[in-house]
A and B are shown apart, each in its own frame.
Chain A
Amino acid sequence: MAQTWKDNHPLFLTIVGAAAWLVPGAGHFLLNEKRRAIVICVTVVLMFLVGLYVGSVGVIDPIGAKPWYAAQLMNSPAVFWLGRIGATGAYPVYGRANEIGQIYTSIAGLLNLLCIVNAVYMAHLRYVEEGQA
């Protein structure tokens, strides 16, 4: 039987993980779990955007709020770009709006991390199950 690129197990797992980080839900989409991918993508992106809307782009602060920034980065590499804008200090945000914005964007990132791990695990399980069948 001809080998597919998916048979290169570690590479496929890496691609699934990277895709899930690049775009929330893309890892599951690659595994043909389209409904799951849509639910994850819509929820994570919506939560992140709500956080940004409530607290402004200033909630992504790679200098003054490093632990929050680490969680926010799990959303997508696009957060690097937003972090560069937030780091300029042009959009200061304080008080409850800052708290809620940081909580929403960081929780969205941590949920996407859960989805990345889940997508990689699902890809691994399928490989193992196909091997046993």
Chain B
Amino acid sequence: MTAASSILLASFTTPMQIDTTPGSMLWLIPLMVGIAVVYKATKVHKIKAWPFTKETALLIGSIFVFVTVAALILHGVAWFVTEQLPSLTGGSAF
């Protein structure tokens, strides 16, 4: 490996320390922004600063609301199956 490529790669050789916590799901927000920006960049007829920002923000908001609702529903289902169902069936849910 050459010296130039070693210097270039130096910042990208050690992974970050990210714990497996609910907070790590926040890493999905920048990803969602990136997806919305690129998708809108391919869809709009002409890119003008304000309309593009407005449309992108609307798409980001829509995705965020949908993901939040889906997460709440799935959390509710998981809570019901693991916490409530065993007491209703008088044992393990499985």
Which of A43, A55, A96, A115 sits near B34, CB closer than 8 Å?
A43
Given contacts A43-B41, A111-B35, A111-B38, are A95 and B20 in contact (CB under 8 A)?
A: yes
The distance from the CB of A51 to the nearest CB of chain B, in whole angstroms, is: 9
- Known contacts A36-B47, A39-B47, A100-B27; is-contact A46 B34 (Cβ 8 Å): yes
Which B residues touch A46, using CB under 8 A?
A: 34
Contact partner of A97 (CB less than 8 A), chosen from B1, B16, B38, B47, is B16
Interface size on A, residues (CB 8 A): 35
How many interface residues does chain B have, given as a range?
20 to 34
What is the bound-complex CA distance between A46 and B27, given in angstroms? 14
A117 to chain B, nearest CB (A): 9
Binding site for B on A (CB under 8 A): 33, 35-36, 39-40, 43-44, 46-47, 49-50, 52-58, 85, 91, 93, 95-98, 100-101, 103-104, 107-108, 111, 114-115, 118
Contacts A49-B12, A54-B15, A57-B12 supplied; 11 other A-B pairs, CB < 8 Å? A36-B41, A46-B34, A56-B15, A97-B18, A100-B18, A100-B24, A101-B15, A107-B34, A108-B34, A111-B34, A115-B38
